[in-house]
Chains A and B, each alone.
Chain A
Amino acid sequence: MKSGGSQVLPHLPEAAANAPIVKSAQKRIVGARVRAVKSQVLLLLPAVAVFVLFLGLPMLTVLNESFRTFEPGRIGSVEGAPLTIENYAELFLPVYMRYFSQTYFLAFCASLIAVLIAFPIAYFIARYASSTMRKAAMTLLIGLTFLSALVRVYALQLAFGSVGIFAPIMSALGVNMNGSLYINCVIVVGLLHYSIPMSILILIGAVQQLNPRLTEAAQSLGASALSSHLTVTIPLCIRGLVSAFLVSMTLGISAFIIPWILGRGRVMFISNLIYSRFSEITNYPSGAAISIVMMALSLLLIFIMSRLFTLLDRT
């Protein structure tokens, strides 16, 4: 739309712009723009309605609940409960900030590792794998996403738990399987179970869109394989890498069953805190405040990643 007549016409000399034929052309263009905007709005309307109805309104309810006073022994806030900021103030206690930082840190580690592992695999599948192998890999990766969360988590528990099949090896290596470091590592492994297949699927698309001749051109001009990879391939795939990282982060920070089972209940993610508030102690106001803060932090993370992406994007 921008490159059409609407941009040319304003630069016409005044006399020419006032000519009847030009005016009618202007009207036609404006009419066309209005029609286009109308059709865009109509097309967007169902999606906007769904978002408002199923996301916006419930979130407003959660926001309202987060400012209410909770009366112990009741379920949620009672009708007309007084307003308070206590539910938010409580989250500034160092211990709750620790829960937030722990969740985001472990999710960050898992996302970073996932992207580092996924990229070479995705590159291999997209560039070097035969058609049959590519199909098999895609089937395997998509199949993995259908695997029950509980099956994966208990499989890891049976393998890496304190009485798991690897326990004798870990003990022989002097690993303290009761220590928090080990438990955190097992949680990261649990998160990788989800984020690696997802990242590979995202990155395959990114690598396939990359023109291989650009790398070849860089190498023919004297760049080494490593240098061309770092200066051409990676920057041109940055959109896919950021997407894979963000999806992995989303899976990580919202993980619930992984810290619950693999963390042996000793590691608490924000999702576990929210569940406990809503379901076990029925303190909706506090649960709502944690949810709102978690959402704000996630939006901030997306903003930072978008800025980073803008800085690094060369496409």
Chain B
Amino acid sequence: MRRGQADTQINWQLHAGGAVAILPKFKAGWPKPGIDLLTGWDLSWQTIAREGWAEPITREKVPNIADIPQKLLVKDGAGNVINIPRTISALIWWYREDLVPFEITKLEDLLDPRFKGKICWPVPTLSSNLQAVTLALHKGGDERNMEPAWDFLKQLARSGNIGRIANADTDITTSITSGETCITFGGGTGVARLKRDFKIKTKHLSKMPAQSGFKTFVFHEGWCVLKNGRTDAAYKFANFAISPESNEQFNRDISGIPTNVKAKAPEDVNYMAFNNEEMERHVYIPDWEHLSKQVNAWNKRWEQEIQPLL
């Protein structure tokens, strides 16, 4: 890995908040985004596609894209692929085994008085509000019919069981590791890191029976080459990053599942790896485009109906 990157000189820039939080900065500086290669996920690709900010990805420019499943590729309005998938992950429900008062088997358990202040609930802008979509799916709705989810959320907010509203992934980390709360919803790769770094005992609800109500949402993260930058260098690095060896090594380090079909998945993320039957039973793939247009309305609904009840 080190040898392969010996001649690369990259100025990495980190930004706080969700993947979409960086996009307003591009808007302010467009057509000069100041970034050549951007990381993101299913949801942010939709917005970037709509704004027309991404360079097309082709096999000529990124040869290793041939080893990435076609299903993971996102196209813009002109039909061009705009993303370079790097990691498959899942948004899952999970909890700290050492802190829960009893074993959680169904979504309704979250309303139990013994969970007073023990739920860490992400705001609708985190994880595209899929935590609420779970509730909707359990109560007969889906991402297009969220009324059942809002009703359940009102009950949950009134119960006093929500102890922390996570505005960012860091809030989930601090809240769960400190013991302030014990159950939450978030990215599966983060859970593996917390388990490894903080030596906490976690239980993943990613493969629960259908009647439990807990659903898992598989998504992918990756790269996007922005227009008006050093595109050739960006293509070159992205191609290197998704090569079988690099992709495998990177995902082993972050506890993710490689997108390159020639790379091997690490063993500690079995809870995020699904065969066809498990995919059918436990995983829900939402309409990402629809989700990306709902964030504004859902966030306002949260502010107007849920937040005042907390």
**A residues whose Cβ falls under 8 Å from a Cβ of B:** 70, 72-76, 90, 93, 95-96, 98-99, 161-163, 177-178, 180, 260, 264-266, 268, 272-273, 276, 278-284
Per the bound structure, the CA–CA distance linking A74 and B293 in Å amounts to 8
Asked if A162 contacts B125 (CB within 8 A), the reply is: no
Closest to B125 in A: A280
Q: How far is the CB of A88 from chain B (nearest CB, A)?
A: 15
Closest to A263 in B: B165
Q: Which residues of B contact A281 (CB under 8 A)?
A: 20, 125, 295-296, 299
B21 at the interface (CB under 8 A from A): yes
Per the bound structure, the CA–CA distance linking A280 and B128 in Å amounts to 10
Asked if A73 contacts B116 (CB within 8 A), the reply is: no
Closest to A102 in B: B308
Contacts A265-B164, A273-B303: A72 and B21 contacting too (C-beta < 8 A)?
no
Asked if A276 contacts B125 (CB within 8 A), the reply is: yes
28 A-B pairs in the complex with CB atoms less than 8 angstroms apart: A70-B296, A72-B293, A72-B297, A73-B46, A73-B292, A74-B47, A74-B50, A74-B51, A75-B51, A90-B300, A95-B303, A95-B304, A162-B180, A163-B179, A178-B116, A264-B164, A264-B165, A264-B180, A265-B164, A265-B167, A266-B307, A272-B167, A276-B125, A276-B299, A280-B20, A280-B21, A282-B20, A284-B24
Per the bound structure, the CA–CA distance linking A161 and B164 in Å amounts to 11
**B residues whose Cβ falls under 8 Å from a Cβ of A:** 17-18, 20-21, 23-24, 26-27, 46-47, 50-51, 116-117, 123, 125, 160, 162-167, 171, 178-180, 292-297, 299-300, 303-304, 307-308, 310
> In the complex, which of the residues B160, B165, B292, B294 contacts A265, with contact meaning CB atoms closer than 8 Å?
B165
Closest to A177 in B: B117
> In the complex, which of the residues A75, A96, A161, A280 contacts B18, with contact meaning CB atoms closer than 8 Å?
A280
Q: Which residues of B contact A161 (CB under 8 A)?
A: 178, 180
Q: How far is the CB of A278 from chain B (nearest CB, A)?
A: 6
> In the complex, which of the residues B24, B117, B304, B308 contacts A282, with contact meaning CB atoms closer than 8 Å?
B24
Contacts A75-B47, A75-B51, A76-B24: A280 and B162 contacting too (C-beta < 8 A)?
no
Contacts A76-B27, A163-B180, A178-B117: A280 and B165 contacting too (C-beta < 8 A)?
no
> In the complex, which of the residues B50, B162, B178 contacts A266, with contact meaning CB atoms closer than 8 Å?
B162
Asked if A278 contacts B24 (CB within 8 A), the reply is: yes
Q: How far is the CB of B99 from chain A (nearest CB, A)?
A: 10
Q: How far is the CB of B208 from chain A (nearest CB, A)?
A: 26
Q: How far is the CB of B153 from chain A (nearest CB, A)?
A: 14
Asked if A264 contacts B167 (CB within 8 A), the reply is: no
Q: Which residues of A contact B308 (CB under 8 A)?
A: 95, 98
Q: Which residues of B contact A95 (CB under 8 A)?
A: 303-304, 307-308
Per the bound structure, the CA–CA distance linking A279 and B20 in Å amounts to 7
Asked if A282 contacts B50 (CB within 8 A), the reply is: no
Q: Which residues of B contact A280 (CB under 8 A)?
A: 17-18, 20-21, 123, 125, 295, 299
Q: How far is the CB of B226 from chain A (nearest CB, A)?
A: 14
Per the bound structure, the CA–CA distance linking A283 and B165 in Å amounts to 21
Q: How far is the CB of A61 from chain B (nearest CB, A)?
A: 10
Per the bound structure, the CA–CA distance linking A265 and B117 in Å amounts to 13
Q: How far is the CB of A262 from chain B (nearest CB, A)?
A: 11
Closest to B17 in A: A279
Asked if A264 contacts B163 (CB within 8 A), the reply is: yes
Per the bound structure, the CA–CA distance linking A260 and B123 in Å amounts to 12
> In the complex, which of the residues B21, B164, B167, B296 contacts A283, with contact meaning CB atoms closer than 8 Å?
B296
Per the bound structure, the CA–CA distance linking A31 and B167 in Å amounts to 63
Q: Which residues of B contact A96 (CB under 8 A)?
A: 303-304
Closest to A183 in B: B310
Q: Which residues of B contact A76 (CB under 8 A)?
A: 24, 27
Contacts A279-B17, A279-B24, A281-B125: A73 and B166 contacting too (C-beta < 8 A)?
no
> In the complex, which of the residues B21, B117, B160, B304 contacts A279, with contact meaning CB atoms closer than 8 Å?
B21
Per the bound structure, the CA–CA distance linking A273 and B296 in Å amounts to 12
Closest to A273 in B: B303
Q: Which residues of A contact B179 (CB under 8 A)?
A: 163
Q: Which residues of A contact B20 (CB under 8 A)?
A: 279-282
Asked if B123 contacts A265 (CB within 8 A), the reply is: yes
Closest to B51 in A: A75
Per the bound structure, the CA–CA distance linking A70 and B296 in Å amounts to 10
Asked if B24 contacts A265 (CB within 8 A), the reply is: no
Q: Which residues of B contact A178 (CB under 8 A)?
A: 116-117, 160, 163
Per the bound structure, the CA–CA distance linking A77 and B179 in Å amounts to 42
Closest to A272 in B: B167
Contacts A163-B179, A264-B163, A265-B167: A72 and B296 contacting too (C-beta < 8 A)?
yes
**Chain B CB within 10 A, most for which of A162, A272, A278:** A162
Q: Which residues of B contact A264 (CB under 8 A)?
A: 163-165, 180
Asked if B294 contacts A72 (CB within 8 A), the reply is: yes
Asked if A266 contacts B303 (CB within 8 A), the reply is: no
Q: How far is the CB of A168 from chain B (nearest CB, A)?
A: 13
In order of increasing CB-CB distance, the 5 nearest A-B pairs are A265-B165, A178-B117, A73-B293, A280-B125, A266-B310
Q: How far is the CB of A210 from chain B (nearest CB, A)?
A: 45
Q: Which residues of B contact A90 (CB under 8 A)?
A: 300
